Amino acid sequence: MEETTLITLTDEDGSQVDLYVLEETKINGRTYLLVTEEPEGDCEALILEELPGGEGEDASYRPVEDDAELALLSDLFSELLDDVSFE
């Protein structure tokens, strides 16, 4: 079993949220992460785009909200992971 990466993000309210990275891919120089709040099983997933930080700063992430971009990335992540399906 592969080790799942855990990242901690801070939301708009300043609360920290732990997310498990199921897969990562790069398209046109942009990095995308498929993340969930649970390490496995049926649960909701998000696709995040990595926004590079400035010098000495950590990267930040934003949820992908564009429907066309989301559909393309969902198909790609479904191909990369045999046991993942999107509804």
Residues 33-81 have pLDDT tens digits of 999 988 776 778 899 999 987 777 778 899 999 999 999 998 888 888 7
Query: Other CB atoms closer than 10 Å to residue 77's CB: what's the count?
Result: 21
Q: pTM (2 decimals)?
A: 0.80
At which residue do the structure tokens 């309210």 appear? 13
Judged by DSSP in three states, 27 sits in: strand
- How far apart are alpha carbons 22 and 40 in whole angstroms? 9
Q: Report the C-alpha gap between 80 and 76 in whole angstroms.
A: 6
Gyration radius of the chain over CA positions: 13
